[in-house]
Structure 1
Amino acid sequence: KLIFICSPNNPTGNSIIRTDIETILANFKGLVVIDEAYINYAKQRTFIQELTEYPNLVVMQTFSKAWGLAALRLGMAFAARPVIDILNKVKPPYNINQATQDIALKALENIEQVNQWIKVTVSERENLSAQLLALPNVKKVYPSDANFILVQVEDALGTYNSLVDLGIIIRDRSKVALCEGCLRITIGTAEENIRLLDALKSF
């Protein structure tokens, strides 16, 4: 048996309440896999510290988001030794090439810069969220712990197409279940966010 929990979640950006996850871990008779791809942007701390408490816990993280190394396709799984032993038996041999390992190790030397990028992104996220809420065509801005914001607007497809015409690329999530009328906006630089807001104000 296996449960996957994405926290922070994509596309909503919200983190699952920690005590709810702990309740699942304590009562579910199977593996609980927490996908923490966006954890670097969250107020909530990682579940890695809880690995010694829950033998059925698996925590997944990646270099694709905060580290900006999506092309590496490098992720990590943290779990108790018995779980790791099983994973090692089924994973492909030599599944991470030497170049990927070298780049990842080099990236880890740059952690102070990465933390600064995260700090700027979180600040821009909060600022952009507040300004989006003030727009008349925005119905709802979902709270986010990720590097993106889910926004419900009056005309999702029309807004999306108008932004594309201006060279501003976001994600149309209006056809995703429970995300009707929603667009997903990745946090850009301050200048990019201002350009987005100016465009939305003009519609």
Structure 2
Amino acid sequence: MNIQNLIRPTIKALKPYSSARDEFQGNSDAMVFLDANENPYNNGVNRYPDPQQKGVKAILSEIKGVSAKHILLGNGSDEVLDLIFRAFCEPHQDNVISLPPTYGMYEVLANLNAVEIRKVNLSETFQPKVDAILEAADAHSKVLFLCSPNNPTGNSFSTESVEKLLKTFKGLVVIDEAYIDFSTEKSWLTRLEEFPNLVITQTLSKAYGMAGIRLGICYASEEILKVLNTIKPPYNVNELSQKKAIELLNNKDLAKKQIQDILEERAVLISDLATISFVSKIYPSDANFILAKVDDATKRYNQLVEKGVVVRNRTTQFGCENCLRFTVGTKEENEELIKNLLLISKS
């Protein structure tokens, strides 16, 4: 596959903006900076942040076992996904493929960028229908989005299906691994160099508890990242986010413990949900949430809100009719949820 053939012509011809911090690459410790029109009085954030976030990438490289040259950071994963649209999808000409039920931002970003979105519904077991996906694709199909573990269903896609799509689909295959740290399946990062069209997105918002700093991660070949770096805003990740990410990523034991606690609580919550009379099905989960079918999702959602518990009503999503999505909380939060569900079931 020739990645160059997928890039929009205007992007190929684009000369990237060069910021002051991009142009000076030397040791900054003893330098006097008069190049970026900054306020000179030091308050901790008066200087522009590192545009390449080298400190954060170095830690991620160590944790994930991936070279920093294969990492791009964004203001949340949504910015990373938007960059992919803008770099590879020609408005009013190209299309992308998504697999409902899935993360809703793929469709929002497609509409925002004037790119057709073709939907191929997942199977009854929430797995990709490979032949139908390939049939839906044409010469203008630039990106295929695979959310695995999938949101809102919680399951991972089969390795066999993903492999076939990576080998056969003629565009980029973006595997959204926002929930991979909760999964028993291996990340596709281990096979990044095997597939030139593979793009993996992850986030610090879930397992690492940093939703508030908005830091998304893209892993891809140097060729793909060169294109995305050409169009990304020069200072897209602010200084405070970078510092907080470095602080929390360095505390590896804390993240590991919290992930383990969430997995243990997930098992307890699945068991407890099975005792609720109006819960008819609990779907397998490889994520930090559980999808469950109830008798009347909207009614039960409203009843929980009245009791001070907010969950997610997914009943409008394909294949999720009368389904609620429960995020795994702390032990105390989960007990509060079950207590209220039991009260509702008896009312």
- TM-score where L is the length of structure 2: 0.57
Offset at residue 195 of structure 1 (A): 1.8
Amino acid at match of 1:60: T
Corresponding residue for residue 63 of structure 1:
204
Match of 1:131 among 239, 254, 272: 272
Q: Does residue 1:95 correspond to 2:236, yes or no? A: yes
Corresponding residue for residue 111 of structure 1:
252
Amino acid at match of 2:305: V
Q: What runs of 5+ residues in structure 2 fail to find an aligned partner? A: 1-141
Corresponding residue for residue 296 of structure 2:
155
Amino acid at match of 1:102: K
Distance 2:302 2:200 in 1: 37
Offset at residue 127 of structure 1 (A): 1.4
Aligned residues: 203
Structure having the higher strand fraction is 1
Corresponding residue for residue 143 of structure 2:
2
Distance 2:297 2:277 in 1: 14
Corresponding residue for residue 25 of structure 1:
166
Q: Does residue 1:81 correspond to 2:222, yes or no? A: yes
Distance 1:108 1:194 in 2: 29
Q: Secondary structure at the match of 1:101?
A: helix
Offset at residue 86 of structure 1 (A): 1.0
Amino acid at match of 2:323: C
Corresponding residue for residue 181 of structure 1:
322
Distance 1:162 1:94 in 2: 44
Corresponding residue for residue 306 of structure 2:
165
Q: Secondary structure at the match of 1:93?
A: coil
Offset at residue 191 of structure 1 (A): 1.8
CA deviations 1:80-123 (Å, max 9, x no partner) are 11111111112111211222111111111111111110001011
Distance 2:180 2:309 in 1: 26
Distance 1:85 1:142 in 2: 40
What is the RMSD computed on CA atoms of the aligned residues? 1.1
Corresponding residue for residue 145 of structure 1:
286
Q: Secondary structure at the match of 1:60?
A: strand
Distance 1:130 1:21 in 2: 31
Q: What runs of 5+ residues in structure 1 fail to find an aligned partner? A: none
Distance 1:99 1:131 in 2: 40
| Percent of pairs with identical residues | 46
Distance 1:27 1:176 in 2: 28
Corresponding residue for residue 37 of structure 1:
178
Amino acid at match of 1:199: N
Amino acid at match of 1:164: V
Offset at residue 180 of structure 1 (A): 0.8
Amino acid at match of 1:124: E
Distance 1:36 1:63 in 2: 11
